[in-house]
Copies of this chain bind each other. A is one copy, B any other.
Amino acid sequence: MQEEVLSPDDRDFVTALGTGLEVILAFDAEHPRMTLSEVATRTGMNRARARRFLLTLHALGYVRKDQRHFELAPRVLQLGYAFLSANGYQSVIQQILEDITRESSESSSLAVLDGDEVTYVARSAAKHRLMAISLAVGTRLPAAHTSMGRVLLAQLPDDELAAFLARVELTPYTDKTLTDRDALREAILTVRRQGYAIADQELDSGLRSLAVPAFDAHGKLLGAINISTNAARIPVETLTDTFLPLLQAKARLIRTHVG
């Protein structure tokens, strides 16, 4: 999968579509409501252009307009919904993630690889939500430094993994972040052998997580499921001794119930 990609100035590249999607993405928690000019500056377009796209999105029902302010309409959820329903996530999987949360009292998620990032596809948050708000379906995190990312990278064929390792930029998020390519390769190869990954405060100090791959009945990789914990409360031993068997049992459950 993924072959020759169109360069964004090819003869059959539709600029307008890319621009429109950019306008949608310009809205976030910090900018839920914006005027035309704000959208223009945030997206780097001139006001005339931003206006055309906002009016178009408004006409299509993806954006609401209140005098001078624009905001996203619920209709945009349909776009993501198209993906989720097309891929049959949110079926049994959501249920199983909630079971994991109930049995472990920790947050649990399913993520898939998209480029060099993992994308959260389903999630069940634990009660004591520390960074829970910022993690939700649709969130993207660098694959290299997350437990789910490493599990998914470990599933790649050798050549794709090598290509990834060659191109990836290793940002030191914490003092525990692996920033050495060889060390990262070793870590991923270890994940391949062991069948699970632990990321211990590599992305954020205080965040410790465990992940295993999830396959369907046909052996097709659905994604990675994880349990993420507060490092101050849960030692690494609990991850390997208690949570790993739990996660592996749930992965088997998925295998027998999906597909």
Instruction: Give chain A's interface residues, CB within 8 Å of chain B.
Output: 1-3, 5-8, 10, 12-21, 24-25, 27-29, 31-32, 51-53, 55-62, 64-66, 71-88, 90-91, 94-95, 98, 112, 114-115, 119-121, 125, 127, 129, 133, 136-140
Contacts and interface: CB of A to CB of B under 8 A. Distances in A.
Given A3-B65, A119-B77, A82 B20 contact: no
A115 B61 CA distance: 8
Please state the number of chain copies in the assembly. Answer: 2
Contacts of A20: 14, 16-17, 20-21
B95 A125 contact: yes
Contacts of A78: 25, 80, 119, 138, 140
Contacts of A74: 83, 112, 114, 119, 121
Contacts of A58: 5-6
Contact of A114 (B3, B19, B52, B75): B75
